[in-house]
Amino acid sequence: KYGGHRYIRRDQQELNIRGAVTEVENSAFVYDEYLPEEEERKVDYYDMLHQRIWNIPRNFLDIWPEVLSEGSFGTIYRGTVQRKSQSTDVAIYAILDSELATEDKRSMLEGLDILVRGGDHYNTLSLTGTCESQDTLYIVMEYHPATLKDVLLQSRCLQHGENPKSKFCSLSESAVFEFIVGIAQGMDFLASKKIVHKQLSCSNVLMADGVIPKITGFGVAQFNRTSKKQDYTRWSAQEVLARRIYVTKSDVWSFGILVWEVCALGGTPYRQTANEQVAGAILRGLRLHQLRYVGDSLYQFMLQCWQIDVDERPSFPQILTDLNVLCTDSELNMELNFNVYKDFQYEGYSENLERY
């Protein structure tokens, strides 16, 4: 157990990879054997989705003019939805369904299907429902304004003049480690659904109530809140950089980078390496350094995630087992320590290195 939640799966068998991989909105992948093919559909795919999700009446939905992001199929707005006499903040993806080409419509529906299957977990972004109005399809998702990246950068208390000064992070070590555990739980769930994320990073984790990590960036769940797009090169596995191969173990590599990023309180991976050089450097063996306040066991865990041979990397069930060992009080005190020490400096963060 950790933080009152049980997270270790009993089934330790690694997921087998079968079938070709299909890209959906450049944000998540799912094995083709799980995608409904056009010729195999006995009923309209909209009807299939309606059986699985809440079809929201239009008068229950209030769409605000605030634009959160531009997606591949339309615009994502902030808004609210009424349910059981309560108003809930949501993100609303407005798609002009009638204007989509056949292939775009199929891609959009597949992305929606991924969100439906992948969002049914405490640590993944969930779909609230859909709403149809004339020619527009509204995909309604839970909304949280802060990303894990935001929370980590804000926790740098020495930069914000916060007390106490004996610590360089306003969050406790156990709270930060619980973020890592929650993301591992969510990724284990996505892997069990044969979904390969591809874009795992702290910027693609939203924080519910500032403490509960919710993985986003898969299916149609896109939240690019700035005019610049995220560059995921620094989080990408060697096989992705070399051959554009995406498998679950590629996500394991990215998870290891995310763990370093969390421990670095939002620092940019490989910050000393220019964007045009970072892919080649990783392929030649460049790895992230051990932070001074991170213990050997936790750093060795990261190194295991960055093995060149994908079979040598741990599966997500194994990752949960390893984290369960590391998160005991006696171990965690040795593996992550936010006490200020002489010559301490935060790991640098550069938006220009992470976005383009």
Q: Where are the domains positioned within the chain?
A: 41-142, 146-353
pLDDT confidence of residue 44: 57
> For the chain, what is the mean pLDDT?
86
What is the percentage of the chain residues whose pLDDT exceeds 70? 83
The residue ranges of DSSP E strands in the chain, in sequence order, are 21-24, 28-31, 61-70, 74-83, 86-96, 127-133, 136-142, 195-196, 205-208, 212-215
Residue-wise pLDDT tens digits, 53-95: 889 999 999 999 999 988 888 899 999 999 888 999 999 999 9
Cα separation, 160 vs 170, whole angstroms: 10
Specify which residues 94 forms β-bridges with: 75, 138
Residue 236 has pLDDT above 80, yes or no: yes
Report the candidate in 197, 60, 209 with the shortest Cα–Cα distance to residue 140: 60
Q: How far is CA 21 from CA 105, 243, 303, in A?
A: 19, 14, 26
Measured at the alpha carbon of residue 55, what is the angle toward residues 54 and 58, in degrees to the nearest 5?
A: 130
The CATH classification number of 41-142 equals 3.30.200.20
Q: What top-level class would CATH report for the domain 146-353?
A: mainly alpha
pLDDT for residue 53: 85
SS3 139: strand
DSSP conformation letters of 15-82: PPP-S-EEEETTTEEEEGGGSPPGGG-SS-HHHHHHTTS-B--GGGEEEEEEEEEE-SSEEEEEEEEE
How far is residue 167 from each of residues 159, 265, 340, 347, 356, measured CA to CA in Å?
Answer: 12, 13, 5, 15, 33
- Nearest CA to 250 out of 328, 309, 193 is that of 309
Between CA 306 and CA 284 the distance in angstroms is 13
Choice between 306 and 5, residue whose per-residue pLDDT is larger: 306
pLDDT in tens, 179-208: 999 999 999 999 999 999 999 999 999 999
Cα–Cα nearest to 23, from 120, 122, 103, 117 = 103
Q: State the pLDDT confidence band at 242, using cuts at 50, 70 and 90.
A: very high
Instruction: Taking residues 131-141, report their average pLDDT.
Output: 91
- Amino acid identity of residue 155, one-letter, is S
Strand partners, 283: none
Task: Name the 3-class secondary structure at 141.
Answer: strand
Q: Is 123 annotated as a binding residue?
A: no
- CA 86 to CA 70: how far, in whole Å? 28
Place of tokens 């229950």: 60
CB 254 within 8 A of CB 215: no
How do residues 7-20 score in pLDDT, each as one tens digit? 333 333 232 333 33
CA separation for the pair 321, 324 (Å, rounded): 5
CA 209 → CA 1, 6, 106, 220, 223, distances in Å?
21, 20, 34, 23, 17
Instruction: Note the Cα 148 to chain centre separation in Å.
Output: 9
Q: Residue with structure tokens 């409904």?
A: 36
Whether the ω angle into residue 164 lies within 30 degrees of 0, i.e. cis, is yes
- Strand 28-31 and strand 74-83: pairing? unpaired
